[in-house]
Amino acid sequence: MNLIGKIFTVFVLVLAVVFAAFAAAVYSTHRNWMAETYKKDLELEEAAKAHKKELEKKDQQIKELGRDVRLQTEPLAKIQTSYTKLENENQRLVALNEKLLVERDGAITAQLGTSVQNESLEKLWKTAEENRQAAVTERDANAKEVMHQKDLVNVAEAEVARLKKQVTDLAAQYAKAKDYIIWTGGNEDSDYKATEAPPWFRGHVSEVRGNEFVEIYGGSDMGLRVGHELDVSRGGDYIGRIKVMTVHFDISVCTIMKDYLRKPMQRGDYVRPQSKSERPAAFRRPRADMFTALLLVALIALALGITALYMLMKQEYEFKFKVGQAAGSPAQVACQAQIIGMPTS
């Protein structure tokens, strides 16, 4: 590029930057507030949908837990029914005991009235006493049965608490597994290409062994395998490419690929998955000069300025058309016209 071309390129760059700045300033001062309002409504609607999905998920978990609780509470209900029957039987026996006591008192009274019925009343009293003792024995047995049923109830309640804790533990394990899947990208068991490293891998060079090998931090714990190819950079500059030869848990030994090497590697160089845009050093095209970059910036600035003016004109036209077509009061039309800078009649 000759001197005149370079001067023209710089001149075009200055004019393009001024034009783009002017267009951006005009566009920023005429931002469509209706579009911003619609955008906020859409964001709120999306947030409401996400919240609704989360509530539905929580309701499903609550239903599943309720089903488990019902399965455990059915035996508890049977035990409670049995306990009620035993309690009723106990009350019946107590009432019978009171009745026998009343009969015994009547027999004693009758015995005082006549000596002839003394023996029969004595026998009746003994019979009543035996019945009372039997009732007391049966009541004690029922009380023991009630205590046993209460123990069963306590065991059932402890089992329900254990199941609830198990559900909580399973939920925590599910959350941990979900975080691990997100961290590994869900590709732990997938078949990577022989030279393609996991996209989430990040590491750096820990040691340089001559001109052939390097040691890096990162190994099987980050998904590396033998044969993966990685790019090495320093301060944003591409240094070269290495290939994994030996993999340990947290370190790996790699060989330096000579075709991609541009600078000697050093300890602390940044290591990332290979970039498909990088080529061997012998086949890379020469970099563009400074004036080519300036001309590209000028073209980008011109494009941005033209785009901003086009969007501004389009928004004003659409908004004016909506104001003219909307059925509203004259005061509302005048207010909307004042917002966009239109004269009011």
Do 2 and 87 belong together in one domain?
A: no
Contact 79, 155 (CB under 8 A): no
**CA dihedral (305, 309, 314, 320) positive or negative:** positive
Determine, yes or no, domain membership for 264. yes
Determine, yes or no, domain membership for 52. no
| Per-residue pLDDT tens over the stretch 266-314 | 999 999 998 765 555 443 444 555 767 777 887 888 888 788 777 877 7
Do 220 and 322 belong together in one domain?
A: no
Do 27 and 3 belong together in one domain?
A: yes
Helix (H, G, I), strand (E, B) or coil at 285: coil
Closest C-alpha to 271, from 183, 188, 198: 198
Closest C-alpha to 260, from 275, 286, 285, 242: 242
Domain count, the chain: 3
Token output for 112? 């005082």
Contact 250, 219 (CB under 8 A): yes
| Per-residue pLDDT tens over the stretch 160-186 | 788 778 777 777 666 555 544 544 445
Mean pLDDT by 10 residues, the chain (345 residues): 77 82 71 61 82 85 81 78 86 88 80 69 85 88 84 80 77 57 48 66 92 92 88 92 93 94 93 72 50 78 81 66 50 46 46
Give the CATH number, domain containing residue 211.
Answer: 2.40.10
Determine, yes or no, domain membership for 16. yes
Do 267 and 299 belong together in one domain?
A: no
Token output for 24? 């951006």
d(CA 114, CA 121): 10
Contact 281, 261 (CB under 8 A): yes
Token output for 236? 């944003």
d(CA 262, CA 174): 47
Domain encompassing residue 226: 203-273
